[in-house]
Structure 1
């Protein structure tokens, strides 16, 4: 399915901060050839999304502002479905682009199906094989696979996953992941113009290595996140004179209530507010090791050659594990500490793991996606 003449008929749907980061290169690739897609924001993330839209200069035609405090998945799903369906009717789109596996993406794809609007899915085909892990993302992306007309898979393994589910091969295109486009753009074009960060300068002056931590996934709320934090605390204490841990803490109260009581009193752990994307990329580039439950961070770290410990029960990015840059340790305090200790003390092990890879993309995924959408296969 090729779009033909796409002028003023393409909609791009953004619900969360990661979607904004990964869709920015696609928006720019369209604009580069004179096509101005209509960008719609659901506002599934509110405090996290609006700053990133400003930072990446993403101009939207509508923000549905659907986020509510302590919202349930059912309530959010219903609001997204109804409002996006209304938007599609009003703007008479021919193609709706969704990214990833959020509730916004899944319900918007369903709205597109209801309104007979073609759906293109970017980052298609990721699977863990466990319906509830990650939750609800695994079922969201399976649902989108049933609804989409175009499937942009980041890797050949993602393509194979889609084929096994009966998606016609002609609708699947292996293009890499657009997060690598965003990462390389920030690294190569924005970092040099940024003012020095006082925290990073202070850590560098003390001669300490940075361990970057992120953790926010819904399935980890409660005991798993507490276990992860206890592992981080033990690691910080074991390397109190040689590492600084930077943890930008997600604004979700379920994350805040676990992280801060366990980690806030440890002197070499820096709990920060969420960082701008450019600043986050800078911290990644300066990090010795990353401990995360984020999918995008796993992909970025693989491209940069920074070893990653994945604090999840399951992983849909096994390509990074297979090449050695990632290791799945789960939300297990002891495994986190043991794996980090090995990487921080054994230089041979570290060097073998710290190898940049293009397994998730080469920085030109968005260009390929736009060419395919427009039927330009040059």
Structure 2
């Protein structure tokens, strides 16, 4: 990326991999953002990450928090003040999340985003074009979904007055993650290079506030399962929890195989204080491009008593990476200093290798 900060929209930004032989970049300088800006960025990052998950309650809270922050900021005196492309990205994130939750208001947010895209400042024409392309792709997908629903309704035969309407199960509150448009979390830090068009756009999850809602343990079926119980139509019975978990695992495995995405599961035996976070940082954009502030955070699994993370990526295998102890003040401690980088090979159990 060039030094022009307006050249890319926040959701398009991703740190780039450096030469694999080069050492990781130094930690970024302390943020100069205001408290409200930092809060807004946190809510945006939470919303992007949660909109891809089945954590319905957490997603609703993140959506509510983002709207509260926007109401407080009113787009004034913030990093998106008088920056229509940034504001349009906010509206786009809201529209996507509302669609994922099956809520109303998707069209209104998209219309607001398109109005803002039509007002790019000089030098923002390219990011405006990219964002408008995403909006159009999303609208096309919505139109196809609507057409499919109307066609399905048209195929249902008319019932006589003597017939009773069959009871229908409650519609799942979340839709499958089928519209892969988001890159790494929103960030205002300038990156050394532009992400090449061939790079896959992947999700880098961000940590929740210590006081916020908790996730299901990483790797557990509950972390990915919908919030309703599936039924066996043929047997006419409710699936047991074990059968449901097995079914969901098979579905997810099939989806990953057909999409070419590889699941990488990593666990680390380590101890952390409350002001420190364990992150995985690597050469590919979805691992932060050697930028520790954009690395993938581990979540503590109390059952296994280890820090765990799952990556679903088409390019994570065989990529170089390191563990980083990231403090709230922005400082980072890299492991294996001078002893080379790790290489991801799939499911791994790593050990703490610091030199304190």
TM-score (ref. length: structure 2): 0.29
Larger helix percent? 1
TM-score (ref. length: structure 1): 0.28
